[in-house]
Every structure is written in C-alpha cells, then in structure tokens.
Structure 1
C-alpha cells in the first residue's frame, strides 16, 4: 500500500514529461499555422482566452488571424482556434466520429456532474442520447407549456408586488436564475426548488448560480483534470482534495457537493414514486410530465441492453440543472438588458404580445407563441450575437484532415485548402465568431438587429451550410452532440419573455453591467467582481 502513492506520482510525472517533450521539442503540422504570440511560458494564450474580460483578445484573434489560427495552450500544447463554417461542418457533422469533446472537458464533467451526456462520448453517449431524445420532443414541450406559464405567472406576481408603487431597481439576473431553476426543476425534474414568493437564499440555488463563475476563477483546473485519475481511487482523491489550502477550491468542492446531494435526494424520491406506481406522480409537481419522470419510466421499460444504470440517469439530472439553468437565465438577462438599451424594440415587442394576448388570452398557446415573428426575431438575434456559450471544445481521436472554406496562407508561404490534423489535436471552436462573421452576415453582423430575421437571410449564410440545428446558427451546434434541450430552452425563453415584457417596462438603472467571458457568459457590476448580478429599473407597462 505504501508504494501506491509513489507509483501514482511516477506515472503522473512520466506522462507530464512526455507531453512537455512532445509540445516543446517535436515538430507538428500545426507549426506553420499563423497565430498570436504566446502570452506566457506556462499558460500560453489560455489566460488571455479565458479570463473574465477576454472579449478584446477574442476580437483581436478573430480580426487579425481569421477563421483558423494556432493558439498556445498550457505547457506548449498547440491548439487550433476555428470558426470556419466548412471546418465546423466537418467536425460537428461529416467527420464527427473522428472528434470528441476532449479528455480535459469530459474528465472535468465526469468529476463534477457524473457520466451524463456532457461527460461521455462514443457508444455510451449514443445510448444515452437514444433514451433521452423522445423526452425532448416538440410534443412533450407542448405538454409542459401550462406548467411553464404557471412558473412565469408566479414570477410576474413577485415582480408586480415590488413595483406596483412605482419603478424600482431589481437584480434581474437573480430573478432569472430563480425562475430558470424552477422551470428546470418542475419541467425537468418534477421538483419545486423555489416558489418565487419571497426573497430566497436557498443553498442549492446559490450553488447552481456560483458553479460557472467558480470554475472561471481557476482556468488551470481544466488542465489537471485528465491527470486526476492517476491519483488513485475516488476516496483517495477526495482525501487529497480536502488538504488543498486554496479557499476558492474548497468553495468549488462545496458547490459540487451541494448540487450532488440534492440531486441524489430528488432522484431517489422520484424513483421510489415511480416504483410505487404513477398515482403518486399524478399528485406531484409536474404531474409526472416532467423530463425525469418520463425518462425513468422509459428506462424501466427499456430492454436490458438499452437501460441506463442509476449513476448515468442521476448524472443527467446534474446536466439538466447546469446546462438548463445558467444558460437560460443568462440568455434571458441578456435579452432584457438589450431591450433596456433599445426601447423601440421593447415597445414593438410589447405591441405584438398584447395583440396575441387579446386574441388567445394571457397564456399564449404553444404553437401560437412559437409563431410570433418579432418575439422569435428577438430570441434569434440575441442567440446569434450574444449566445450564453461562446466556445466549444473538440479533440481529434485520430489523424485526420480539416477542410477549409477559404485558403489559408501559412507562415512559411504555403497556401492550404485543408489542414492535416494529428491525433490528439485540441480545438477551440468559436461559436460567436461564426455567428457574427461579416463574410457571412454582412457589415452589420456585430450589431443587434432583430429585424434582420423578418426578411430573407444573406445568401452567403444559406450557402455556408452552418452546422446548427437552429436558425442557421451554430449556437446549439449539430450532429450527435447537439444541444438536446434546445426546444426546452426556447420554450422557457418565450414563455418568460412574453409574460415579463407584456406586463413590465425594463430600463437601465445606472448601475454598471459588465458581461464576463466564461464557459457561460454572465454579468457583474465590475471587472473585478465574480459575483453574478445585473440590476435594471422595472416598472409596470401601460397597455
């Protein structure tokens, strides 16, 4: 037993030494790809790319080096920064079996959320996806619409209570976070986290909100996660983690533990209810129509070879919560921020919503809500220009070739129309850069203009075959790893926006709003703060 730590440490050091030799001293086909100089010997360009205020560096990288560039990762590793649509189409669709999310990404997800959709690849991922696809169908979303309106109605009452005497500054991000968690809780898990009737400091809610900012504070974590398995079994890794004298790391551990504990409690209660019979679920939150109830029932009916083990079903819960709460709450906050800056757009949207409510009632039905052209345009334009997730990781499973939509001039003077990709090559795929590329979208590509969706899109966009399952955008990507919950997300956004904008007017409060670049972009009141917050002035809207 005494020799185990020594063997583990030796294996870790040997692997690290091999990577250093390979990265710093061995030639690579990527050496001739142009890119920015390294920001530091150890971190390369990673801190420039991943710090809270890295928007300017991303713009510099995009505008200076174009759709494909070489960047330096930790310890000399050569990565590719890509937003060329033909290359993205190859990675996400045509040659998708040659790529996966990468050792670093999947290891990190498995350590924090378990072996769910975001932490698996290959046959296991396909098996999980096969089980989950029917749960996120349009027909199932239609069934969830009344439940979503019920949650949005509670939000309306809560805000109305606070502004009925006159305009008031409110932390809109806080309210959007609580609402998104309740929507995912009731619609995704059949569980109520927050009745939205009083100020809430629920530990689980706070943990979910803090998860992404906590990770963003320590970008080097993603470098070490692939090596953690070398440190022995889970109990031993946990013992070592408890000894780490970094306050932020211990806070991150507490956040993960809090999310895991509550998820296990909900899962066990839900499983017990289903085993006792559907009668219990009919009297529960969501009446058994929530995603988790449907998934558990289908999993129990599945054949032995298709059935998912408990740990994988439980991991989907953490995935639903993390992927569904922060992305939706921050996207909603971004829309309301943009509407506050563009009162004419807000007024036009309110007119459309009032007209629909006069025809269909306060809760606009599923199909009619989805067909509202200006609401749809506002959502599409926000998810084009300011999608919550800006970057996606991929890693090459084998030696392959990456096709390009336009020639690339290399540092040695050669011109490439395709790039030889060595096995193990990592990619930063810049979703926002593709969504805002002037070569596709025109000179106003980086301006927020919902009206662009009320007319035909530029021919260049149609011809680019952008690998996306939504609106010619790469926001939700495509292929076997596309966002399975995008219809769920769209319904959340439209129900909440239709409820809020029809009843309230949103304006800037005077408090700073700084959007931080992170795994999921989020607002704070300063560049120095990592506390998610966004204050707007809210008042009752006139009809």
Structure 2
C-alpha cells in the first residue's frame, strides 16, 4: 500500500532536518580543537561535549572534576569541550602558579559573561573583567583589611552567640539531631544580613525569614537553576548570546529593594554602621569629594552597590555554611581531633576572660589547621575558572619547576599555543585529592597544615580561595565567621553522629557547591 504525505509535511520534515544539521555543525565545529593541537582529551559527544555525565546526573561537579583529573595521570593539562567551548584543564601546580601569578596579565579574567546594562547583578567583583575589575578590586580591597574585620566582629559575635543558644533548642525540636547545613546557613545568613546590609535577617529565630528564603532559592537544586548555572559557568559565550541572566530574577528584585531602602534610610536619618554597605557608601562619598565620579572606571552607582552586596551575600553565607557543616561532620567522626580542638578553644577563651574576641580567634592555630583540612576535603568551589586574554605558550615542566623539587611526575606537554579566548579550568578538587601532594587524601588530618606539614606539599596544590591577584577578597571575613561559629559551638557542645547521619555522604549531582543529599545530620551533646 502506497503512503503519501501532503507537501507541507514533507517541507516541514526538510526544514527540521536542515535546522538539526545546522545546529549539529554549529555545536560540533570545534570538537576537534584539541585533537588538531595534539592535546589529550576525552572524545566529546553531541550536543553537550564532555558534559554528558553532568547533564545526565551521573556525577556531581566534584566527582566530574576529580574523575577527569585522575583520568589523565602523567599529563600536565588536557582538553575538554564544555557544550561547545574548548576548555583547557590544568593539572600541574607549576603551570597553575604561572597562570595565577606569573602570567596573570594573560589570565586576569574569569569567563563569566558581564552585561551591566541588561544584567546588573553580573557587574560584581567576582565577574568583572579587565580594567573594570582592577579598578573595583583596588577600591574594595581596603574594606577587607584586618582592621575593618575588627569593626564588623561584634556583629559576627552576636550571631555566633545566638547560634550557640539556639543549638539545644533546635536539637530538642528535631528529636535530638540537627540538620547542619540549613542551621549553619541560617547563622551565616544572619551574619551577612547584619555585617553587609545592617539588617536583622532573623533566620536563626525564623527559618522562613525573607533573607533565608532568598538564600534557599538561589542555591536550590532546581531545573531552572541548574540550566542557568550550566550555561553561565560552562558555556558563557552561549549564555551571552541567549541573554541568560546570572541571577534569579526574584533574588535580583529582593536585593535591589533591600539595598535601595537601606541606603535611602541612612541618607535620610544620617545613620552610619560598621558594615560592608557603609564601607561602600564611604568609598562613594570619597570618590565624589575627589571629583572622580565622571569616570565609569571608578563610579559606584546604586546598581554597582547592589551587585557587590549581592555577591558578598552569596559568597559569604553559602561557602562559610558549607565549611562549618563539613568541619563539624569531620569532628564528629574524628573525636581525637575534636577533643584537641576543644581543649584549644577552652584554653584560649580562658586567657581572654571566657569571652570570644577577635584576638582570641587569631590565637586558635589548631582551629586554622582543622578548617584548612576541611577546605581541602570539601572545597566549596571545586574548580577555578579563567580565560586566556592574550595568546599564551605553555611552558615546559623544567621551566615551571619549583625550587628544583620534583613536585610532579606529570612531565608530558609543553610548547603548545593557547589561543585568545580559551577557557581554562583548574580542578581544585583533583589537586586536593592527589596522593602525590596529600598522602592518604581520604583521611582527615589537620596536621597537614602545621608549619612542618605544609613543607610536604606544593603550595599551588591547595587552592580553596584561589591565589594571586584574584584570590577571594572576602577570605578574612569568611574565616572570621567560621571560626567564631566554631568557637561558640565547641565551647558549649560536643558533636556526635546520629542515626540520620549519612555514611558515606552522597552529594547532589546538580549543585555547584558540595551539598549532601537529604541533609547532613549530627547530634549536639551539651557539655557538663
């Protein structure tokens, strides 16, 4: 029996075939990019390149970069295709040092798209490029000195004391256990609300406070968030062409309103506070006095103020909450480490009249080691992103050797030319779990970060905050709120695994920051 189709159906099929063919050619045009340059790579597959395991939910971002790193042992770098963008993954600490410091002028940009007109939240310090980044970094750096941290410390301390006071109450309400990640996020949300905006977020008292709801929304593992994050992080050029915004629209509206209302209130009532927003406003006033606001390089508009507060909120609350969560988890599994750290907390606080002070925290050196080891095992940002802004030639292993020590056996590769615009990924998680640098990397061992322990690994094999001129500007603040929270909790409680504690931990596959599926539960035991 003959089957005939109407002409319009035939033309429709032809149209779809042509469209699919055009899309295929567009996406796969650079799939042989690394092969032509004789750089090892995993063969990419249409339409997501080397991201299929991420898209299908077979691997978390941590697992993806860890497994990719381990797949190319013996190589200093390798090629990836992220959707359609050629990306160079660097394994060699010597090359990493060159990229982040020596040749920083060729890698000063992250690859995130910036459109301050149509996407104001993208104009933050983390995203900005070139001279715009350099100017704003210079302007903001003085707001994160140790002196400025001392001004903010009283606000952090007040939140830490409330965290300790709420712990027993929260545990009793939940049957003896606490889901740490949300609880720590409520603490850091209150800290950022107070220290950044001068607003009482009230998340510890009310888990459904507006600030906390926005924080959950931004980091929720949803289809919309996963799609937006994948495009912005792994395919920035494509996301720019598609007009994908860097921030959730509800979150953008919320922060725009909060910053605008706070600034107007302070101007009207001549209110000044020792917080991040006030420091930004002071910089803007100083610039106005100096007559510099005509220059787009130095102007801090309301949109720019909002963008900086937005990124400070995101970077400040989620990363520190993650670090606190995993630190307490590891302490519950390593009771000898917990006992040693508690002894230090008790001893130092006793020397300061039982009070948590800025100076007391600075004396807790073993706590620094414990937090550093947590950041090694659970880096909140498992990969650093850079973009080649000027053609670059890969140095040989001999040229990047550090102090004549054989830090790495990965000697293959050198001399290749990296083209302008190439994305560069530095897999922090792979370096942190490389037994060549950290013996028995699965073991939690704070002694790695004593002065003697640090001599055993390459300094550029440990990068939880990045390194070089674009090192995390809020590092001091993050460490302060983490240490303050830990000191407040350990002075009053011991932490033990509960019947709800996952073993082993299972991470959410579509989360950008390490997130334990079904939460991470521990049991706080009040000290006698």
Which TM-score band (shorter chain)?
Answer: 0.7 to 0.9
Answer whether contact 1:110 1:116 (CA < 8 A) is retained: no
User: 1:230: Cα distance to partner?
Assistant: 4.7
Matches within 5 A, 1:121-520: 121-163=129-171, 168-194=176-202, 196-197=204-205, 199-212=206-219, 213-214=221-222, 217-218=226-227, 220-222=230-232, 226-227=237-238, 230=241, 256-276=248-268, 278=270, 280-281=271-272, 288-302=273-287, 303-304=292-293, 305=295, 306-405=298-397, 415-441=412-438, 443-457=439-453, 459=455, 461=457, 464=458, 466=460, 473-511=462-500, 512=502, 513-516=505-508, 518-520=511-513
TM-fit CA distance, 1:211: 1.9
Describe the superposition over 1:208-249 as per-residue Cα deviations: whole angstroms up to 9, x where unpaired. Answer: 123233466336433665345556xxxxx6xxx9xxxxxxxx
Q: SS at the partner of 2:512?
A: coil
Deviation at 1:393, TM superposition (A): 1.5
Q: Decide which moves more: 450-459 or 16-25.
A: 16-25
Shift of 1:327: 0.7
SS at match of 1:416: coil
Corresponding residue number in structure 1 for 2:80: 71
2:506 and 2:116 map into 1 onto residues whose CA distance is 27
Which string of whole-angstrom CA distances, capped at 9 and with x for unpartnered residues, describes residues 173-210 of structure 1? 1111111111111112211111523x421244123123
Deviation at 1:273, TM superposition (A): 3.7
Counterpart check, 1:89 vs 2:104 = no
Aligned positions of 1:40-51 closer than 5 A: 40-48=45-53, 51=57
**Residue segments in structure 1 that go unaligned for 5+ positions in a row:** 1-11, 232-236, 242-251, 282-287, 409-413, 467-471, 526-532
Distance 1:458 1:142, change over 3 A: closer
Counterpart Cα distance in 2 of 1:515 and 1:307: 42
Corresponding position of 2:3? none
- Deviation of 1:89 after TM superposition, in Å, equals 1.5
* 1:488 shift after superposition: 0.2
Aligned residues of 2:181 and 2:322 also touching (Cα < 8 A): yes
Counterparts in 2 of 1:15 and 1:313: CA distance versus 1, 3 Å:
farther
Q: Secondary structure at the match of 2:466?
A: coil
Q: Which has the higher strand share?
A: 1
Change (3 A) 1:101 1:115: same
Q: Scaled by the length of structure 2, what TM-score is found?
A: 0.82
> 2:15 matched to which residue of 1?
none
Q: Is the 8 A contact 1:164 1:540 kept in 2?
A: no
Residue 113 of structure 1 aligns to a residue whose secondary structure is: helix
In 1, the alpha carbon distance for the partners of 2:118 and 2:384 equals 17
Q: Does structure 2 retain, via aligned residues, the 8 Å contact 1:274–1:297? A: no
1:428 counterpart SS class = strand
Question: Across the two proteins, how many residue pairs are aligned to each other?
Answer: 481
Partner Cα separation in structure 2 for residue 389 and residue 30 of structure 1: 31
The two structures, once aligned, show a CA RMSD in angstroms of: 3.3
Q: Distance in 2 between matches of 1:394 and 1:110?
A: 23
Rate the CA distance shift 1:350–1:15 in 2: closer, same or farther, 3 A: farther
Q: Which has the higher helix share?
A: 1
Are 2:91 and 2:426, in contact at CA under 8 Å, matched by a contact in 1? yes
Q: CA deviation at 1:478?
A: 2.1
Tell whether 2:25 aligns with 1:32: no
CA–CA separation in structure 1 for the residues paired with 2:20 and 2:82? 19
Q: 1:110 to 1:356 in 2, by over 3 A?
A: farther
SS in 1 for 2:416: strand
Output the TM-score relative to the length of structure 1: 0.80
* 1:460 positional shift: 5.3
SS at match of 1:72: strand
Aligned-partner SS, 1:476: coil
Query: Which ranges in structure 2 are unaligned for 5 or more consecutive residues?
Result: 1-18, 401-410
